[in-house]
Chains A and B, each alone.
Chain A
Amino acid sequence: MITETAPPEVQTGKGKRRLDENVLRNLGLVGVLVLLVIIGIITRPDLYSDPEWVKDNIFTILQQASAIGVVAVGMTFVIIGGGIDLSVGAIIALAGVWATTLATQSYGAAGMIFCALLVGLAVGLVNGVLISYGKLVPFIATLAMMVAARGLAAQISGKQTQVSTNTTINDIATTRPLGIPLLVWILALVVAIGWIVLNRTTFGRRTVAIGGNPEAARLAGINVKWQTLLLYGLSGLCCGIAAIMLTSQGTSAQAAMANLYELDAIAAAIIGGTLLSGGRGTIIGTLFGVLVFATITNLFAINNLSTEVQNMVKGGIIVAAVLIQQFRYRSLTQLLKR
């Protein structure tokens, strides 16, 4: 057939190009972070003149980013694998509420953690089964789960705030091994494991393959359905971890917790360079995305500004990031077409 055009075989060393592109995007996000800090210094020079405050503030930002960061890592896997998970906030609420019922609390800290992780994983796997084997569109399946899981959480908690009386759990948010908050350690660990799994394991390779071209993956002998199922399980597990972190931070759990986390997690992944259509994304980019949002929140807080303005700025940043991404992608493909 004569419909296809052969791209010219020039420009050696193009393999490095994509790596460069990722590094470039991450550098861009670092630039945004620096800019936000500079704005902070200009608007509140009084605070920034105190090094102790600066150190504490950095930890505040990181702690604020910790739970959403863990969720966003799971979300990044799901999106790279060609899906979306709208139910993460609801799963956190369900896992948090389930882990703080009087019955669960009677099993102690280990029982509560085990419960949260198990509930998160199980709900994630239900999503996965509906999508892989029930052939539901991910958007619909997880939208339904978002509604249902919050409903179940409200049912279990009787719409009450459930206070955690377990000191081990509550201490997670306050202990500082080696001077760094435990929540930040957890985030660092999840990010590190996420990076290794995505870049260095067969699980990560399959994820990129099924998101990049599911038909090619299938015809290469990869079990696309099974891998999809596992990805939603992974996302659910991350929600279970985040549920414990949030419960500890608030020393309580309720059905309304982690509200709109799905949107924050998706937004963080997207501005971090994850392609919404799947097949491409980085864990580090997502981490930077989370940090940018947390820093903005912090910036508004230290200036005593309203959350309304803050949300408008967040929306603007999402649009700007995606526009930049599209522009890059387009110019790159145009370059190759030439």
Chain B
Amino acid sequence: MSEEPDVDTSEAPAVTPPGSDDSGGDGHEVVLRLTDVVKTFPGVRALDGVQLEVRAGEVHCLLGQNGAGKSTLIKVLAGVHHADSGEVLWLGEPFAPATPQAAMRARIATIYQELDLVDDLSVAENAFLGHEQSRFGFTKRRSAAVKTREILARLGHAEIPPRQLVRSLPAAAKQVVSMARALSHDARLIVMDEPSAVLAHDEVENLFRIIRGLTAQGIAVIYISHRLEEIREIGDRVTVLKDGRTTAANLPARDTPTRELVSRMTGRTIEYVFPPRPTAPTAEPLLVVEGLSRAGEFADASLAVAPGEIVGIAGLVGSGRSELLETIFGARRADSGRVTLDGHRITSVGGAVRHGMGMAPEERKSQALLLDEPVFKNMTLSSFAGFAHAGFTDASDERKAASKTADLLELRPRDVSRPARTLSGGNQQKVVVGRWLLGGTKLLLLDEPTRGVDVGARAELYQVIRGLAADGVGVLLVSSEVPEVLGLADRVLVMREGRLIHEAPAEELAEDTVLDLVMAGSLMEGEAA
């Protein structure tokens, strides 16, 4: 990978006008053109004017941080979401698929990160799922198998038997089956959402070979990945999204300097307000993690958190950060290594909670809340036994304590007898944090604390978290939003592919440095060279 640190990008034109006669494509016709596409969800503008131009036979890469709008964009193309305004031209015609089936019929196929295959059907049945070859309602198994074999051969994987159950295939082969499904629809555009995330290193090479084969047949590919080196290898042109907008379009994938790509992705239009950071505490560490490993998830993780300190882990989805947090909490069993809190060895959730550890998990609704139960019962979920007398719960005491915590956290609405379901995302998160405040927690693990929380409520949550630290609570925070980790934490750890690769005080790190580490680790390589 070539680094060109001297290029000054600040005055370079951000957006190459679409349709201009640049050499990025290979002279093929434009098959897809998006102009000023807008998609809003209640309270958030997910897409806020997206431009995109894809040519036949090219690999067009989409780059952007989490929340930049990539997922929404591909869902608009796949017929899952419908654009509010703007123009989508597909093969020169206005295009607005009402359903995923309609998008398929229009020959746009999407391969999601979580492959949507039916494990207990065969390869051929999966390839033709939804448009089975049939006569009088009877499936034509033989003809489907024959056609599937043809398609697999086209993909260079004739060795996958069409009649084998998908369940028994390795991840890489499943991905090939997904592509076979796309080709069974005779797709002219295939959208791939982080296809390399589920693959091992050598399998990625094979994926690239398949993609090159597809583009040679004139099929266009939209390729989403966080790994810059992949984009450089397989991509033809790059479009960068930030906060739902196209900040750079049709950059040449091979030659655009990393610095420019990163700068197009960073620098928020909405600046978050972070509370001031007091001088770093120097107390004895509260939490000590030594050499923690879990096969296939993360390896040899060591870290420490002091009382009153906020430690942030920056890393992408799939980097092993959530798994690491859950293992520290005792919710997953470590293969090796140890976790101690205040000198107590932690091996189970029960022990973790008893010794004063709490966790706000990534999926609030499915992992943290009883949505139909009132707020106060959610807040006391880990401490109601402490309020009880001889096994009898004391709802009025619980309610009082929860109300006090609600005041502290500025919960809105303040009424703690409402079902948790009726609260907004930010306030639900406050309920989960409040749960551990009530339990007298000494160390709080936060996994993506501001996920699904709107901008205003974020600032409040940051205040709450900083306030906790000021009261002596240690905080270990995981987030895929780099500015959040940098703004909130005292000390930052960078996690990539299951390893903690860098550690530094937050004020010594710049956003683009961290983003670079998170995505490519190129800075480390550069330093080593």
Spell out A's residues near B (CB within 8 Å).
1-7, 9, 11-18, 200-205, 208-209, 212-213, 215-223, 279-280, 336
Q: How far is the CB of A5 from chain B (nearest CB, A)?
A: 4
Q: How far is the CB of A222 from chain B (nearest CB, A)?
A: 8
Set of chain A residues within 8 Å of B423, measured between Cβ atoms? 7, 9
Set of chain A residues within 8 Å of B419, measured between Cβ atoms? 14-15, 17-18
26 sampled A-B residue pairs with Cβ under 8 A: A1-B66, A2-B44, A2-B69, A2-B72, A3-B41, A4-B451, A4-B452, A6-B424, A6-B454, A9-B413, A9-B424, A13-B415, A14-B419, A14-B422, A15-B418, A204-B393, A208-B370, A208-B373, A216-B381, A218-B331, A219-B331, A219-B349, A219-B361, A220-B382, A221-B350, A336-B422
Interface membership of B366, Cβ < 8 A: yes
Q: Which of A9, A217, A336 has a CB less than 8 Å from the CB of B381? A: A217
Q: How far is the CB of A334 from chain B (nearest CB, A)?
A: 13
Which 10 pairs, one residue from A and one from B, show the smallest C-beta to C-beta distance?
A221-B353, A15-B417, A4-B452, A6-B424, A220-B382, A212-B370, A220-B381, A2-B46, A5-B42, A15-B418
How far does the alpha carbon of A85 sit from the alpha carbon of B342 in the complex, in Å?
A: 43
With A2-B69, A15-B417 given, is the CB distance from A213 to B370 under 8 Å? yes
Number of residue pairs across A and B with beta carbons under 8 Å?
119
Q: Which of A4, A11, A18 has a CB less than 8 Å from the CB of B425? A: A4
Q: Which of A9, A11, A219, A336 has a CB less than 8 Å from the CB of B367? A: A219
Set of chain A residues within 8 Å of B424, measured between Cβ atoms? 6-7, 9
- Asked if A7 and B422 make an inter-chain contact with CB atoms under 8 angstroms apart, the answer reads yes
Spell out B's residues near A (CB within 8 Å).
41-44, 46, 66-67, 69, 71-72, 329, 331, 349-350, 352-354, 359, 361, 366-374, 377, 381-382, 384-385, 388, 391-393, 412-413, 415, 417-419, 421-427, 435, 451-452, 454
- Asked if A221 and B382 make an inter-chain contact with CB atoms under 8 angstroms apart, the answer reads yes
Which single residue of chain A is at the shortest CB-CB distance from B329?
A219
Set of chain A residues within 8 Å of B42, measured between Cβ atoms? 5-6
- Asked if B388 and A201 make an inter-chain contact with CB atoms under 8 angstroms apart, the answer reads yes
- Asked if A18 and B372 make an inter-chain contact with CB atoms under 8 angstroms apart, the answer reads yes
Q: How far is the CB of A260 from chain B (nearest CB, A)?
A: 31
Task: Give the residue among B381, B388, B454 with the most A Cβ atoms within 10 A.
Answer: B381
Set of chain A residues within 8 Å of B374, measured between Cβ atoms? 15
Which single residue of chain B is at the shortest CB-CB distance from A210?
B370
How far does the alpha carbon of A336 sit from the alpha carbon of B72 in the complex, in Å?
A: 24
With A4-B425, A14-B422, A221-B349 given, is the CB distance from A213 to B384 under 8 Å? no
- A7-B424, A12-B413, A279-B370 known; 19 new pairs, CB 8 Å cut-off, are A2-B72, A4-B425, A4-B452, A5-B42, A6-B43, A7-B422, A14-B419, A14-B422, A16-B417, A200-B392, A201-B388, A202-B388, A212-B371, A215-B367, A216-B368, A216-B370, A221-B350, A279-B372, A280-B372
Q: How far is the CB of B449 from chain A (nearest CB, A)?
A: 12
Set of chain A residues within 8 Å of B41, measured between Cβ atoms? 2-3, 5
Which single residue of chain B is at the shortest CB-CB distance from A217?
B381
Which single residue of chain B is at the shortest CB-CB distance from A211?
B370
How far does the alpha carbon of A13 sit from the alpha carbon of B413 in the complex, in Å?
A: 10
Which single residue of chain A is at the shortest CB-CB distance from B426?
A6
Q: Which of B67, B388, B412 has a CB less than 8 Å from the CB of A2? A: B67
Task: Give the residue among B67, B366, B391 with the most A Cβ atoms within 10 A.
Answer: B391
Set of chain B residues within 8 Å of A18, measured between Cβ atoms? 372, 419
How far does the alpha carbon of A2 sit from the alpha carbon of B415 in the complex, in Å?
A: 27
Q: How far is the CB of A279 from chain B (nearest CB, A)?
A: 6
Q: How far is the CB of B380 from chain A (nearest CB, A)?
A: 8
Set of chain A residues within 8 Å of B361, measured between Cβ atoms? 219
Task: Give the residue among B372, B374, B388 with the most A Cβ atoms within 10 A.
Answer: B372
Q: How far is the CB of B35 from chain A (nearest CB, A)?
A: 21
- Asked if A1 and B418 make an inter-chain contact with CB atoms under 8 angstroms apart, the answer reads no
With A9-B423, A213-B369, A215-B366 given, is the CB distance from A15 to B415 under 8 Å? yes
How far does the alpha carbon of A178 sit from the alpha carbon of B371 in the complex, in Å?
A: 45
Q: How far is the CB of B277 from chain A (nearest CB, A)?
A: 26
Which single residue of chain B is at the shortest CB-CB distance from A280?
B372
Q: Which of B369, B372, B384, B421 has a CB less than 8 Å from the CB of A202? A: B384
Which single residue of chain A is at the shortest CB-CB distance from B452?
A4
- Asked if A216 and B367 make an inter-chain contact with CB atoms under 8 angstroms apart, the answer reads yes
How far does the alpha carbon of A12 sit from the alpha carbon of B349 in the complex, in Å?
A: 36
Which single residue of chain A is at the shortest CB-CB distance from B45?
A2
Which single residue of chain A is at the shortest CB-CB distance from B374?
A15
How far does the alpha carbon of A204 sit from the alpha carbon of B413 in the complex, in Å?
A: 27
Q: Which of A11, A14, A202 has a CB less than 8 Å from the CB of B391? A: A202
Which single residue of chain A is at the shortest CB-CB distance from B66?
A1
Set of chain B residues within 8 Å of A279, measured between Cβ atoms? 370, 372
How far does the alpha carbon of A12 sit from the alpha carbon of B415 in the complex, in Å?
A: 8
Set of chain A residues within 8 Å of B425, measured between Cβ atoms? 4, 6
How far does the alpha carbon of A279 sit from the alpha carbon of B377 in the complex, in Å?
A: 13
- Asked if B367 and A205 make an inter-chain contact with CB atoms under 8 angstroms apart, the answer reads no
- Asked if B452 and A201 make an inter-chain contact with CB atoms under 8 angstroms apart, the answer reads no
How far does the alpha carbon of A280 sit from the alpha carbon of B369 in the complex, in Å?
A: 14
Q: How far is the CB of A52 from chain B (nearest CB, A)?
A: 43
Q: How far is the CB of B295 from chain A (nearest CB, A)?
A: 21
How far does the alpha carbon of A223 sit from the alpha carbon of B385 in the complex, in Å?
A: 12
Q: How far is the CB of A97 from chain B (nearest CB, A)?
A: 34
Set of chain A residues within 8 Å of B451, measured between Cβ atoms? 1, 4
- Asked if B350 and A212 make an inter-chain contact with CB atoms under 8 angstroms apart, the answer reads no
Which single residue of chain A is at the shortest CB-CB distance from B427?
A9
How far does the alpha carbon of A279 sit from the alpha carbon of B367 in the complex, in Å?
A: 14
- Asked if A3 and B452 make an inter-chain contact with CB atoms under 8 angstroms apart, the answer reads yes
Q: How far is the CB of B366 from chain A (nearest CB, A)?
A: 6
Which single residue of chain B is at the shortest CB-CB distance from A4?
B452
Set of chain A residues within 8 Å of B329, measured between Cβ atoms? 219
- Asked if B353 and A205 make an inter-chain contact with CB atoms under 8 angstroms apart, the answer reads no
Set of chain B residues within 8 Å of A15, measured between Cβ atoms? 374, 415, 417-419
Set of chain A residues within 8 Å of B72, measured between Cβ atoms? 2
Set of chain A residues within 8 Å of B392, measured between Cβ atoms? 200-202
How far does the alpha carbon of A216 sit from the alpha carbon of B350 in the complex, in Å?
A: 13
Task: Give the residue among A17, A201, A202, A216 with the most B Cβ atoms within 10 A.
Answer: A216
- Asked if A216 and B369 make an inter-chain contact with CB atoms under 8 angstroms apart, the answer reads yes
How far does the alpha carbon of A11 sit from the alpha carbon of B423 in the complex, in Å?
A: 11
Set of chain A residues within 8 Å of B388, measured between Cβ atoms? 201-202
Task: Give the residue among A11, A18, A220 with the most B Cβ atoms within 10 A.
Answer: A220
Set of chain A residues within 8 Å of B381, measured between Cβ atoms? 209, 216-217, 220, 222
- Asked if A205 and B393 make an inter-chain contact with CB atoms under 8 angstroms apart, the answer reads yes
Set of chain A residues within 8 Å of B435, measured between Cβ atoms? 220
How far does the alpha carbon of A201 sit from the alpha carbon of B412 in the complex, in Å?
A: 29
Task: Give the residue among B66, B353, B417 with the most A Cβ atoms within 10 A.
Answer: B417
Task: Give the residue among A5, A212, A221 with the most B Cβ atoms within 10 A.
Answer: A221
Q: Which of B67, B350, B352, B421 has a CB less than 8 Å from the CB of A336? A: B421
Q: How far is the CB of A107 from chain B (nearest CB, A)?
A: 32
